[in-house]
Structure 1
Amino acid sequence: MPDKTTTVAELRDALRRFVDERDWQQFHTPKNLAMSIAIETAELMEHFQWLSPAAARDLSEADLQNVREELADIFCYALSFANAMGIDVSDAVREKMIKNAVKYPADRVRGKLGV
Structure 2
Amino acid sequence: MDKYKKVINELIQFRNERDWEQFHDSKNLALAISLEASELNELFLWKKDSEVENVNHEKLKEELADVLSFAFLLAEKHDLDIFDIISEKIKKNALKYPVDKAKGTSTKYNEL
Q: TM-score, normalised by structure 2?
A: 0.88
Mapped partners of 1:35, 1:70: distance in 2? 15
* TM-score, reference length from structure 1: 0.86
Determine the structure 2 residue equivalent to 1:47.
43
The Cα of 1:53 is off from its aligned counterpart by 2.1
Partner SS for 2:106: coil
Aligned: 1:25 with 2:21: yes
Higher RCO (CA-CA < 8 Å; seq separation 6+): 1
- Please list every run of 5 or more consecutive structure 2 residues that lacks an aligned counterpart in the other structure: none
Structure 1 gap ranges (5+)? 1-5
Q: Are 2:89 and 1:96 aligned?
A: yes
**Letter matched to residue 11 of structure 2:** L
The one-character-per-residue Cα deviations of 1:54-94 (angstroms, maximum 9, x if unpaired) are 200123xxx22111100010011100111222211111111
Moved segments of 4+, more than 6 Å:
none
The answer (yes or no) to whether the contact 1:16–1:83 under 8 Å persists in 2 is no
Q: Does 1:109 align with 2:107?
A: no
1:37-64, Cα deviation, whole Å (9 max, x unpaired) = 00000011111011122200123xxx22
Aligned to 1:67: 60
Report the RMSD for the aligned CA atoms in angstroms: 1.6
1:10 aligns with 2:3: no
* Superposed displacement of residue 100, structure 1: 0.5
Identity of aligned residues (%): 36
